[in-house]
Chain A
Amino acid sequence: MKRLIASLLIICGLAVSGATAGSLYPEIPKAVGAAHPEGNAYMRINHMRLLRHDRDETMRLGNRDTQYSLKECVACHAVMGPDALPISVKEDEHFCKSCHEYAAVKIDCFQCHNSKPDEGFTALLMQTPVASESEIATYLDEVLQ
Chain B
Amino acid sequence: MKLPALNNAAVRPAEINRRDFFKSGAAVASVTLAPGVTLMAFGGEANANADAGKRWGMLIDVNKCSTDCKACVTACSDENGWKLDGNPDTDAQWIRKVDLTHKQTGREASLPMMCQHCEEPPCVDVCPTGASFKRADGIVLVDKHTCIGCRYCMMACPFKARSFVHEDVEDQKAHAPRGKGTVESCTLCVHRVDKGGTPACVEACSATGHGAMMFGDLNDPTSDIAAALNNYASIGLRDDLRLNPGVRYTNL
Binding site for B on A (CB under 8 A): 37-39, 42, 45-46, 49-50, 53, 55-57, 59-65, 71, 74, 88, 111-114, 116-118, 143, 145
Point out the residue from B48, B175, B177 that lies within 8 Å of A61, measured CB to CB. Answer: B48
Complex CA–CA separation, A88 to B194 (angstroms): 28
Residues of B within 8 A of A45 (CB): 3-4
CA distance A65 to B47 in the complex (A): 8
**Alpha-carbon separation in the docked complex, A145 to B144 (Å):** 22
**Chain A residue contacts of B169, Cβ below 8 A:** 112
Contacts of B141 in A (CB 8 A): 59
Report the minimal beta-carbon distance from A68 to chain B, rounded to whole angstroms.
11
Taking a contact as CB atoms closer than 8 A, the residue among A55, A65, A112 that contacts B178 in the complex is: A112
Interface residues on B, range: 35 or more
B172 touches A112 (CB 8 A): yes
B: residues with CB less than 8 A from A are 3-4, 6, 11-12, 14, 43, 47-50, 133, 135-137, 141, 143-145, 169-175, 177-182, 190-191, 194-195
B110, chain A: closest CB distance, angstroms = 32
For residue A56, which residues in chain B have a CB less than 8 angstroms away from its CB? 145
Sample of 4 further A-B pairs with CB below 8 A, known A55-B145, A63-B48, A112-B177: A50-B6, A57-B47, A113-B177, A114-B177
- Chain B residues lying within 8 Å of A46, measured Cβ to Cβ, are 3-4, 6
- Beta-carbon contact of B48 and A62 below 8 Å: yes
Given A45-B3, A45-B4, A59-B143, is A114 in contact with B49 using a C-beta cutoff of 8 Å? no
The B interface, classified by DSSP as helix, strand, loop or mixed, is loop
Cβ-closest chain B residue relative to A145: B195
| Whole-angstrom CA separation of A63 from B44 in the bound complex | 10
- Which residue of A49, A53, A64, A143 is within 8 Å of B49 (Cβ)? A64
| Sample of 30 A–B contacts (CB below 8 Å) | A38-B11, A38-B12, A42-B4, A45-B4, A50-B6, A53-B6, A59-B143, A59-B145, A60-B135, A60-B143, A61-B43, A61-B48, A61-B49, A61-B135, A62-B48, A62-B49, A62-B50, A62-B194, A63-B47, A63-B50, A64-B191, A64-B195, A65-B47, A65-B49, A71-B174, A74-B174, A113-B172, A114-B174, A118-B173, A143-B174
> Which residue, of A111, A143, A145, has the highest number of chain B Cβ atoms within 10 A?
A111
Nearest to B46 among chain A residues (CB) is A63
Shortest C-beta distance, B156 to chain A (Å), equals 21
Q: Could you tell me the distance between the alpha carbons of A117 and B172 in the complex, rounded to whole angstroms?
A: 10
A50 to B5, CA, bound (A): 11
Query: CA–CA, A88 to B137, complex, Å?
Result: 35
Residues of B within 8 A of A113 (CB): 172, 174, 177, 179
Closest beta carbon of chain B to A90's beta carbon, Å: 9
> Given the complex, which residues of B lie within 8 Å of A145, measured CB to CB?
195
A116's nearest neighbour on chain B, judged by CB, is B171
The interface residues of chain B lying within 8 Å CB-to-CB of A63 are 43, 47-50
Of B143, B145, B174, the residue contacting A117 (CB under 8 A) is B174
Q: B residues within 8 A CB of A71?
A: 174-175
Give the nearest-CB partner of A53 in chain B.
B6
The 8 closest A-B pairs by CB, nearest first: A112-B179, A62-B50, A61-B48, A62-B49, A112-B177, A111-B179, A118-B174, A113-B177
Q: Which of A49, A62, A111, A118 contacts B137 (CB 8 A)?
A: A62
Closest to B44 in A: A61
Which residue of chain A has the shortest Cβ distance to B11 in the bound complex?
A42
Q: Which of B4, B133, B145 has the most CB of A within 10 A?
A: B145
Q: Which residues of B contact A55 (CB under 8 A)?
A: 145
Contacts of A112 in B (CB 8 A): 144, 169, 172, 177-179, 182
- Beta-carbon nearest neighbor of A71 in chain B: B174
